[in-house]
């Protein structure tokens, strides 16, 4: 007996006051026409804990709920039913708690608002854990509300009792167990504030069943008015740090903007473009940062890291100034950390002080909301330009782009997965795109150009099964927009039950499976690093007929295997007015390149054409003692001088 997820809309707050907010992205569609009095919050008075919870969520902007009812959370679902009848809330019945968590997560990523999750006690709550961890790793604001056994039964190993508060402590920003229904209004207000401010992330509220049933004199708490004791928001960027950063930018001849998900969360897209253009700074993004900077812009060098573009990885290796903007020096980005940007001074802008200096000590740390920091940099450099300082550097990067482009397979034989992604880019350039995890995710990241908040992918945790329920959440938020899930044949099976949700609500998500019959990335690693011993990665035996399975759920199923007609079939399927699953049989053994092998530096990629005339120097001379050493070293091993 289980329950699941709600999604809430509250603007992310990142300034020093709870009232200051980011510019809102396009909001989800409003509910249908209902009387104004029905949409108004309830009048304070004697309410049950569950009714008070619904009112508190209403005051924080709830419009859509993803859920699965049951057990300990039934009092809350009874109150939810009343909310639906009043017209301000829409409930979407998911098929599994994890799917609901990912839907709420993606709703938050796409809208810039807070996702709210419901889950009942025991297995319902534990099924949410993967979704909570996914949101935590990618800094997604989410409020998770779980039902719990009655207060008197807590700690007795009662039916469907688990300590979800304890289980989730390492993967939430904060958590509460509600012992008194009179605390509900305050706790909900605190939860939204904590989830949305500073570095966003998930929080948990555990509500015992009898707390939901108990009546009390309810006093509403308005959003932003409950500040937890000791909770402090980051101040604006320090003027001295901004001045130091501007001076380093002026001095740099090979600068590089390294942009992560923090730029997306803070709504820094406009300021980012302005700074890059003012100083002619090339821009590379992480997987989380896709969409923060138009990848068709002349200054864009695409994604960096393990499966990043060759020119982005060469640029980060050769740059003399790295401006890390809302990025955390993740291992899939840096490769071998001691050889990541070895010749660069570092400016690190991040709202989380714990990230600054964690993996790389910067010359200039700026602890601030990214948007506010970039605006301060623009203000401090008003009227300046690059004075041509980066012209030679940009030409060198353009040379790398010409010699090391992303590989486009020969259009013959079996359909190449890259061809499918490029066809999606042609047919649906403005679509929201969600992905599962694996080779298909990396090909999508390499070849697609996404507007801000239109790239939705599990990056830090790498959660297989994320893509389909994520697409569902985005489509609920933006019913009139095109939403495409790019999946693999292994990942899609993790949460394929959510096809039932698409069918029930006629959500026109298009699921495109790049079907190679493998756990593709696992197979590639086994081929490259494990002597071609393909242990437990082959998926053809037991694979369902995906189009027929989709039809069984009431979703249109399309199978594509012939090159001669694949673009026409794909275009027709994407134009279908309802949900559709498109199973594209692609080359079985295609690998995703370029690739930085484990333990290598970013400049040591495999899968590139050979151009020795552009090879990066492997040694350099110490300017102090003249000893030759490897170019990856930061300091001379002989005299200790900084290289």
Active site residues: 97, 159-160, 209, 521
Q: In 3D, which of 472, 488, 476, 424 has the Cα closest to residue 450? A: 424
Burial of 511 (0-12, 13-18, 19+ CB in 10 A): buried
- Residue whose tokens read 């994520």: 470
Backbone φ and ψ for 538, nearest 5 degrees, come out as -85, 130
Any residues with CB less than 8 A from the CB of 416 and at least 6 apart, and which? 409, 586, 587, 590
Question: Could you tell me whether strands 215-218 and 90-93 are parallel, antiparallel, or unpaired per DSSP bridges?
Answer: unpaired
Q: In 3D, which of 393, 111, 452, 109 has the Cα closest to residue 259? A: 452
- Residue whose tokens read 């999606």: 424
CA–CA gap between residue 471 and residue 144 (Å, rounded): 19
CA–CA gap between residue 437 and residue 592 (Å, rounded): 13
Outline where 365-519 has alpha helix (H).
370-380, 391-403, 417-427, 439-447, 467-477, 499-505
CA–CA gap between residue 460 and residue 441 (Å, rounded): 13
State the chain's maximal CA–CA distance in angstroms.
81
CB atoms within 10 A of CB 618: 10
Give yes or no for a cis peptide into 21 (omega within 30° of 0).
no
Buried b vs exposed e over 280-318: b needs ≥16 C-beta within 10 Å?
bbbbbbbbbbbbbbbbeeebbbbbbbbbbbbbbbbbbbb
Q: HSE of 302 in the Cβ direction (CA atoms, 13 Å)? A: 26
Three-state DSSP class for residue 79: helix
Q: Any idea what DSSP says for residue 189? A: H
Q: How far is CA 579 from CA 40, 220, 422, 483, 544, in A?
A: 34, 40, 21, 10, 19
CA–CA gap between residue 373 and residue 495 (Å, rounded): 39
Q: How far is CA 257 from CA 157, 276, 281, in A?
A: 53, 8, 6
Are 323 and 315 a contacting pair, CB within 8 Å?
Answer: no
Question: Could you tell me whether strands 64-67 and 255-259 are parallel, antiparallel, or unpaired per DSSP bridges?
Answer: unpaired
CA–CA gap between residue 422 and residue 401 (Å, rounded): 18
Q: Any idea what DSSP says for residue 69? A: -
Are 429 and 405 a contacting pair, CB within 8 Å?
Answer: no
Question: Could you tell me whether strands 202-208 and 175-177 are parallel, antiparallel, or unpaired per DSSP bridges?
Answer: parallel
Are 218 and 245 a contacting pair, CB within 8 Å?
Answer: no
Sheet holding 202-208, edge to edge: 90-93, 64-67, 6-7, 115-119, 142-148, 202-208, 175-177
CA–CA gap between residue 108 and residue 117 (Å, rounded): 11
């Amino acid at each position: 007996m289980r329950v699941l997820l709600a999604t809430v809309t509250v603007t992310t707050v990142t300034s020093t006051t709870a009232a200051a907010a980011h510019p809102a992205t396009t909001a989800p569609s409003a509910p249908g026409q209902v009387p104004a009095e029905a949409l108004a919050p309830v009048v304070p008075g004697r309410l049950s804990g569950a009714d008070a919870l619904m009112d508190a969520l209403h005051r924080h902007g709830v419009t859509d709920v993803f859920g699965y009812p049951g057990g300990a959370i039934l009092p809350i679902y009874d109150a939810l039913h009343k909310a639906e009848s009043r017209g301000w809330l829409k409930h979407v019945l998911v098929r599994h708690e994890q799917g609901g968590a990912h839907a709420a997560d993606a709703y938050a990523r796409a809208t810039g608002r807070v996702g709210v999750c419901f889950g009942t006690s025991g297995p319902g709550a534990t099924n949410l854990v993967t979704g909570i961890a996914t949101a935590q790793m990618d800094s997604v604001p989410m409020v998770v509300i779980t039902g719990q056994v009655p207060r008197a039964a807590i700690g007795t190993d009662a039916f469907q009792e688990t300590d979800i508060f304890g289980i989730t402590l390492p993967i939430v920003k904060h958590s509460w167990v509600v012992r008194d229904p009179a605390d509900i209004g305050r706790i909900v207000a605190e939860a939204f504030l904590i989830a949305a401010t500073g570095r966003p992330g998930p929080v948990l509220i555990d509500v015992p069943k009898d707390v939901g049933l108990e009546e009390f004199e309810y006093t509403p708490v308005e959003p932003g008015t409950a500040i937890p004791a000791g909770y402090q928001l980051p101040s604006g960027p320090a003027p001295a740090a901004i001045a130091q950063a501007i001076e380093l930018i002026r001095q740099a001849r090979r600068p590089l903007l390294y942009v992560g998900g923090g730029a997306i969360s803070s709504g820094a897209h406009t300021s980012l473009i302005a700074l890059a253009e003012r100083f002619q700074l090339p821009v590379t993004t992480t997987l989380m940062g896709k969409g923060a900077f138009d990848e068709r812009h002349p200054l864009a060098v695409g994604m960096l890291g393990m499966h990043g573009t060759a020119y982005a990885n060469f640029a980060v290796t050769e740059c003399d100034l790295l401006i890390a903007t809302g990025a955390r020096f993740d291992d899939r980005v840096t490769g071998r950390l001691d050889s990541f940007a070895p010749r660069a001074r570092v400016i690190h802008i991040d709202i989380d002080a714990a990230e600054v200096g964690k993996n790389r000590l910067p010359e200039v740390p700026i602890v601030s909301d990214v948007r506010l920091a970039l605006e301060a940099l623009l203000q401090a450099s008003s009227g300046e330009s690059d004075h041509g300082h980066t012209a030679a550097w940009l030409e060198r990067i353009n040379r790398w782009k010409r010699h090391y482009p992303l590989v486009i397979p020969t259009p013959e034989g079996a359909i190449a997965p890259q061809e499918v992604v490029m066809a999606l880019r042609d047919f649906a350039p403005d679509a929201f795109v969600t992905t599962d995890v694996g080779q298909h995710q990396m090909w999508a990241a390499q070849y697609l150009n996404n507007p801000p908040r239109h790239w939705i992918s599990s990056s830090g945790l790498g959660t297989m099964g994320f893509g389909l329920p994520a697409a569902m959440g985005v489509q609920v938020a933006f019913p009139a927009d095109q939403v495409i899930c790019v999946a693999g044949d292994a990942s899609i099976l993790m949460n394929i039950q959510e096809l039932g949700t698409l069918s029930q609500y006629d959500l026109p998500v298009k699921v495109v499976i790049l079907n190679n019959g493998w756990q593709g990335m696992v197979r590639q690693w086994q081929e490259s690093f494990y002597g071609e011993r393909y242990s437990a990665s082959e998926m053809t035996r037991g694979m369902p007929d995906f189009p027929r399975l989709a039809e069984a759920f009431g979703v249109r199923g399309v199978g594509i295997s012939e090159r001669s007609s694949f673009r026409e079939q794909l275009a027709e399927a994407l134009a279908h007015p309802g949900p559709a699953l498109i199973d594209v049989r692609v080359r079985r053994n295609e690998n995703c390149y370029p690739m930085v092998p484990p333990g290598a530096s970013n400049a040591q990629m495999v899968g590139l054409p050979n151009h020795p005339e552009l090879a990066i120097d492997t040694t350099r001379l110490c300017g102090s003692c003249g000893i030759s050493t490897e170019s990856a070293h930061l300091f001379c091993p002989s005299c200790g001088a900084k290289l």
